[in-house]
Structure 1
Amino acid sequence: MLDFADGASAHEKSYITIGQIPEDFDSVSQLKKAPFSIISHRALVHTTELILPRDVYTATWSSIREKLETPRYIQVIMPLIALVEGDFFNDFVKPGSILMLSEGRPGVDDIFSLEQGILTLQMSREKYERTGLTAIEIDLRQPSMLHGKKGFERIVWACRNVLNASVTWLLAFDAVSQNSLDKAAAALQKYQPRLLDCDFEEIAHPVVNVPPLSMDEVRSQSWPAAVEDYCNEVSEWLGLVSLQSPRIAVDDKIDPYLSRYAVPQSESQQPQSTALVSLRWQGVMTSRWISQLFTSYLLEQRSHADGLSAWGALSASTFRRVAVENSDGYTVLSLTEGAKPRESGFVAWEFVGASLST
């Protein structure tokens, strides 16, 4: 026997949440509840994918697309001092509406991020001691964060004398606002920022075998271990869809010596097969934009519930920001009720601690 044990994989975790999507899911109050809280807790992601049965895609996508703005972001090379100087600090950092992330490898390089006005600094102990700062998380929205104030001037000194290397930054806005992004680019004009769009790729999958996907199937599992097995099998299948694996295709004829994978089946449901479509965005997207995408899908799916396939899957991959226990992404699978096609439940997976860097 060959030992393929990977010590890093022991740190990988998947947290599963099962619940009901509330009827008023498009209200602001629901953003604090799962599955929307799972989306909102990841401020920036680099890849978003929406997997739909072809009949759902055909019936809903054109309307969903009309409601969505193209996600945009800024890429710019500049030093940390640029955040705390001039109009950019007063107009964008101080109000707390801009999201920023610098390049770097967690645990190896200096990494800076800004979210809701809180600047987070990751650096070596030696460099931290040289800065003279008393914290690595600094709330720049506080009234004391002004030029001339002792605490703020200490931050400015550290940026100019210690944390003074130019690095690549990614910038986006918590609220979808094309004008604000244009103004932010203008405020950073001396650093020659690039305004970029996240265009989407449309992937047409062949007809594939589909596991039983319904809230009725989730509830039919008789004990917790069976629920866990079902969720793990569905997560694996969705991963194979994203990878465009031929193992799930209805005409797959691979020798079982090479692969023994089989799409999960159910005693209570007949095997199903359907064509799928994936919509994939890459670049920088905010949690607010992803919530808008998911909400638009749910609204359209509900309005076309009769006669359509009863599921859709939204996945997102986050930027690696910490060296240990990093939040790597999530998948939210929307499932309608068998007897109530206009009501939806969900299964959500939150992935933590993947061994491969993004």
Structure 2
Amino acid sequence: MFSFSAPSVYQSSKCFVTYGVMGHPDPQNLPSKGKPWTTLLAQDFVHKVDLILPAELVQLVKDKIIGDPSRAPVFYKVIMTVGQILEGDFFTEYIKIGNIMMLSEGRIDSENVFLLKEGMLTMYLDKETYERAGLVGKPHGVKGKRGLKPRWVVQFDLRSPSMLHGKKGFDRLAYACKNVFNAPVTWLFYNLSKTPVPDPLSRHYPVKYTSHPKVSEDISTKLPSLKPPIAILSSQGQLELDEFATDIYEWLSLVRLESPRISIDDKIDPYLSNYAVPGTPDDLQEGKLCRVSWQGFIPPRWTRQTLAEVILALPAKSWFSLSTTTFARDIVGDSTDCTILRPPNSPGEYLLWDVRKQN
């Protein structure tokens, strides 16, 4: 229902790589400035989170992170019209006072889709719906893109003091909701604040989901060197950084996919795949990994907290990788994937891959 965009020859991705040092996180005051924290917080609706680490450390993660059931992200599926978001206690408690995330079903590049985050209602509309609604918006997408009809994007800051009944702008939005956006829509809903009593969401019969972690233990693999070469610290080290970052990102991605290509026992015909774990035979080691995965409708705040908890739970010299993937969106420059690697024997250091879709 909440599908990913189909690949297109008109779409490409750019990967921005950062190598740096981050301070030790304070669990009572999580960082909000500087990478990699800002990169995580810049994502909107996270669909999947993967944590990769040596198998011998999995018990620490179980004891200090995934062992607490209350940590698992809880979200809801609910059927509502857009207008019902603007009505009564739901509007007052969840938008004016509280803080929620909502994402409607559909594909942004071809259907009418509605998003709500930090009080900002964003609507991606086809030309006919946009003209019927009579709202003020902007063209959306790249001009001249073959096979796609014109699209429009309209935004309203629902937390603005002017967003009240009786105000011109709000009444125009309410009129459009009543006469144009009046069909029930399936949404994903996440509450970032305290749940009000009584809960205004309950009257819409929401279905509750919990993103329980899936643990894959004892993944036998060939381990490349995860320590960046010293040359990348010099001004002439860009080529070495690019090559190292490309190889390690590909390897981590195959681990996330549970690809047999990284297995110790992989014997595939080179005619079918010529992939090899990066490094010389003398550099490669045999080891076991663990992958912990969460999937659902996850806020960026949760991924930031998880990164901080992993850093605090694991020994300072151990390595790990945390990756996040957002719901696919057809927006120029929208971040779709983020991977953070703390290399072995490198307390505080990190490599960050920030993959963004470009149309």
Which of 349, 352, 355 aligns to 1:348? It is 352
- Do the aligned partners of 1:20 and 1:344 also contact (CA within 8 Å) in 2? yes
Counterpart residue identity of residue 262, structure 2: I
Which residue of 2 is the match for residue 300 of structure 1?
313
The 2-side partners of 1:264 and 1:10 are apart by 28
- Do the aligned partners of 1:201 and 1:280 also contact (CA within 8 Å) in 2? yes
- Do the aligned partners of 2:65 and 2:71 also contact (CA within 8 Å) in 1? no
Indicate how the Cα distance of structure 1 residues 26 and 219 shifts in structure 2: closer, same or farther if over 3 A, else same.
farther
Q: Alpha-carbon deviation of 1:278?
A: 0.7
Counterpart residue identity of residue 273, structure 1: E
The 2-side partners of 1:290 and 1:215 are apart by 25
Paired-residue identity, %:
34
Which residue of 2 is the match for residue 80 of structure 1?
82
Counterpart residue identity of residue 37, structure 1: T
1:233 aligns with 2:234: no
Which of 103, 120, 138 aligns to 1:118? It is 120
Q: Alpha-carbon deviation of 1:25?
A: 5.5
Q: Alpha-carbon deviation of 1:193?
A: 1.0
The 2-side partners of 1:128 and 1:226 are apart by 49
| Structure 1 residues 317-332: aligned runs within 5 Å | 317-332=325-340
The 2-side partners of 1:190 and 1:84 are apart by 15
Question: What runs of 5+ residues in structure 2 fail to find an aligned partner?
Answer: 1-6, 138-153
Which residue of 2 is the match for residue 202 of structure 1?
215
Counterpart residue identity of residue 163, structure 1: F
The 2-side partners of 1:325 and 1:89 are apart by 31
- Root-mean-square deviation (Å): 2.5
Note the alpha carbon deviations across 1:261-314, whole angstroms, 9 max, x for none. Answer: 2111169x842221011111111111111111111100011xx346xxx31111
- Do the aligned partners of 1:73 and 1:172 also contact (CA within 8 Å) in 2? yes
After superposing the two structures, state which structure 1 stretch, 68-77 or 320-329, moved more: 320-329
The 1-side partners of 2:64 and 2:286 are apart by 26
2:97 aligned counterpart, secondary structure: coil
Note the alpha carbon deviations across 1:107-132, whole angstroms, 9 max, x for none. Answer: 21111111111111110233222222
Aligned pairs, number: 335
The 1-side partners of 2:240 and 2:269 are apart by 29
Which residue of 1 is the match for residue 238 of structure 2?
224
Note the alpha carbon deviations across 1:17-56, whole angstroms, 9 max, x for none. Answer: 2211213464646222110111111132111111111012
Which of 166, 176, 179 aligns to 1:158? It is 176
Which residue of 1 is the match for residue 59 of structure 2?
58
The 2-side partners of 1:223 and 1:34 are apart by 21
2:182 aligned counterpart, secondary structure: coil
Which of 134, 138, 148 aligns to 2:156? It is 138
The 2-side partners of 1:125 and 1:257 are apart by 48
- Do the aligned partners of 2:30 and 2:305 also contact (CA within 8 Å) in 1? no
**TM-score, length-scaled by structure 2:** 0.85
- Do the aligned partners of 1:106 and 1:320 also contact (CA within 8 Å) in 2? no
Counterpart residue identity of residue 70, structure 1: A
Which of 283, 294, 303 aligns to 1:281? It is 294
The 2-side partners of 1:74 and 1:95 are apart by 20
Note the alpha carbon deviations across 1:59-84, whole angstroms, 9 max, x for none. Answer: 34311224661210111011100110
Indicate how the Cα distance of structure 1 residues 58 and 270 shifts in structure 2: closer, same or farther if over 3 A, else same.
farther
1:64 aligned counterpart, secondary structure: helix
Which of 128, 146, 166 aligns to 1:148? It is 166
Bigger share in helix:
1
Question: What runs of 5+ residues in structure 1 fail to find an aligned partner?
Answer: 1-5
Which residue of 1 is the match for residue 190 of structure 2?
172
Indicate how the Cα distance of structure 1 residues 160 and 276 shifts in structure 2: closer, same or farther if over 3 A, else same.
same
The 2-side partners of 1:217 and 1:62 are apart by 35
Indicate how the Cα distance of structure 1 residues 189 and 58 shifts in structure 2: closer, same or farther if over 3 A, else same.
closer
- Do the aligned partners of 2:94 and 2:100 also contact (CA within 8 Å) in 1? yes
Which residue of 1 is the match for residue 141 of structure 2?
none
Q: Alpha-carbon deviation of 1:165?
A: 1.6
